[in-house]
Amino acid sequence: MKPRSITASNLILTLDLEPHGEGGFFRRTYQADHRDMLETTGGPRYLMTSIYYLLTEESPVGQFHFNQSDILHYFHLGDPIEYSLIHADGSLQTLVMGSNVLAGQQPQLHVPGGIWKASMLLNGSDGFGLISEAVSPGFDFADMEMGNRQKLTAQYPQHRTLIEKLTRGED
């Protein structure tokens, strides 16, 4: 029997993913609930959590958002994904996650807590890009802020075009 090719829709079904508020699709795969919670300034958190995260042609952008926790990203399958990171000093770092290591793509990416991050699926033959994230201290909505276009462009006017592309507008 011919193997069924992997598509965005059969990945969403097989991995049981749901739409993420930032764009894309996700499912939490792990939380360290067999260990003591970690006391943070924001309250108790799991030591670590993990998700699958998928970008597709229909939902190709993970909008700018801010996390307190460190996040490790691991690329699995599909087309490369471009990451835009705005550091606290306003500097912009752009890099690509993917499997073409010889072309400079990264299979693993560490994003420290305290910076703004957005991701965008690059054009390719698959129409999706699948990664995993490991978050420590574990993800909690209280530690996350979605990027507000007006606020972010006021804070980082040098990145206006990028911010407008990678945030949701009011209109």
Determine the interface stretch with ligand GUN among 82-90, 100-108, 133-141, 150-158 (rule: CB under 6 A): 133-141
| Cα–Cα dist 21/17, whole Å | 13
* Candidate list 82, 126, 133, 143; residue touching ligand GUN; CB under 6 A: 133
Residue placing its CB nearer to ligand GUN in the complex, 7 or 168: 168
Residue 159: name the closest of 90, 95, 113 by CA.
90
- DSSP-derived letter for residue 143 is G
Per rule CB under 6 A, count of chain residues that contact ligand GUN: 6
Instruction: Name which of residues 66 to 85 contact ligand GUN (CB under 6 A).
Output: none
* Candidate list 12, 51, 120, 121; residue touching ligand GUN; CB under 6 A: 51
Cβ 67 to ligand GUN, closest distance in Å? Answer: 7
| Cα–Cα dist 171/98, whole Å | 33
Reduced 3-state DSSP string for 11-55:
HHHHCCCEECCCCCEEEEEEECCCCCCEEECCEEECCCEEEEEEE
Question: Are 142 and 98 spatial neighbours (Cβ–Cβ below 8 Å)?
Answer: no
109 binds ligand GUN (CB under 6 A): no
Cβ 140 to ligand GUN, closest distance in Å? Answer: 8
Residue placing its CB nearer to ligand GUN in the complex, 28 or 151: 28
Interface contacts to ligand GUN, rule CB under 6 A: 28, 49, 51, 133, 135, 139
